[in-house]
Structure 1
Amino acid sequence: MKGYSSLIKKLKAIKKMGYIKTHRAGNTGIGKTLEDLLGITENNIPGPNAQMIELKSARKNVSSMLTLFTKSPLPRKANSVLLERFGYESRRGNHKKELHTTVSAKEFNTLKGKTGFKIVIEEDRINLVTSQNEVVGYWDKETLKKSFERKIPKLLYVKADSRGSGSNEKFWFNEAWLLSGFNFGSFVRLLQEGTILVDIRIGQYPDGRAHDHGTGFRVLPAKLDLCFKHREKIL
């Protein structure tokens, strides 16, 4: 990939190709297929003015969510506390504990039939709060803002119609947007509305220590553009 202009030309050529069979079965097939077609090996690509931009792709009209970025909660031992207090025996049958749950600001979630926790947004922090109003983890707003800006300063977001499933799934990459200017105010509002959710994924190392598998802030593909101030349609 020589540069941004050649990337856009390639995307327009890919659109004209119509439906293309996936290069990999499963959820990651769409990203793998697009990267192969573009001739890139990572999802950071050259953008305008020599800036690198993130490449993301998504199926249209699906309920699966996109990860904006991952960030473990604070304080430093929060994952260990969450795993100890709310974790349960791993489904792998390895006698280890795990905690896989989705958290919203709209309502408390449920963990093994019991009330878990929810997101509560304060002036400077985003808290994980139990039904007893106990803060069991938090994220500093300024840290989150910097994490997003560092991870996705600009985003080339490619959408595709899909049909079929598994190894027979096919994609038609027919829409693309260049998104920039992360809007932290919109991010917080979408989190408050329950449009952005937090997926907590904690496992356990063989020695018993908590292992963060990627606590992610996630959003529906159709709402991703609302996190950015500037949106330019490419396809």
Structure 2
Amino acid sequence: MELLVFHGLIAAHIVTGTTGAIAFWVPVIGRKGGVNHARWGKVFAYAMMATGSFAVCMSLMTLVDPFGTHPHLADRFDANFIRGLFGWMMLHTGILTINLAWYGWLAIRNKGRHALNRHPLNVALQYAVIAAALACAVDGWFIGQYLMIGIAVVGVATGLTNLWFIHKPQIERADWLKEHIKALVGAGISVYTAFMAFGSVRVFPELALHPGMWSVPLIVGLAIIIWHRLDVDRKARQVRARRVGAAA
């Protein structure tokens, strides 16, 4: 029964993750601010929150019974490794995905109403991802899987920078737009990393922790974030220039 429930979670995780992975590219490539951007952006955000929630459920089941949830890995890895990779690290990435999707969606929904970003759930998610990241790093240290420590750095940095923005007294339009881009593209990085890294365990277990499996989505995602943030800055400068010209 436990394995049946776990496989059901995997199936739901794959369906929502695939939906999000496809929907991700419409707002990234398409015209910004249009109907399709908003519609598919919402599909992506909801899919990522669902995907992250299923990942959290799977990770908790793995922490309780690593071999019961992953019997196919029993002859390849020990219980501590399975708990580390599919327990603590998946718990961290699941919470991180939920965090980024919620935070990014809230940033665009609230826009100039910055005080609404201090919603208790939004603040709590920042502390949750920091706590999960630290737990992931500690377990990674004990079992000698230092990639877990590297991934944990992302979670801590996300929580701290998000808290900095949330509690920032005053923001400009470019600020919330940059946070929106950072968070939702970050969620995209998360889902593609999960497909490449966690998914590889079933096909090529020896590649599960290979840096290449983790670096490709990160590099592509960072390039997208940098490109769009530079575009936001460029447009903001143009707006300021037009205002100065009109005032003169």
TM-score, normalised by the number of residues in structure 2: 0.26
Larger RCO, structures 1/2 (Cα 8 Å, 6+ apart): 1
Structure ranking higher in helix proportion:
2
TM-score, normalised by the number of residues in structure 1: 0.27
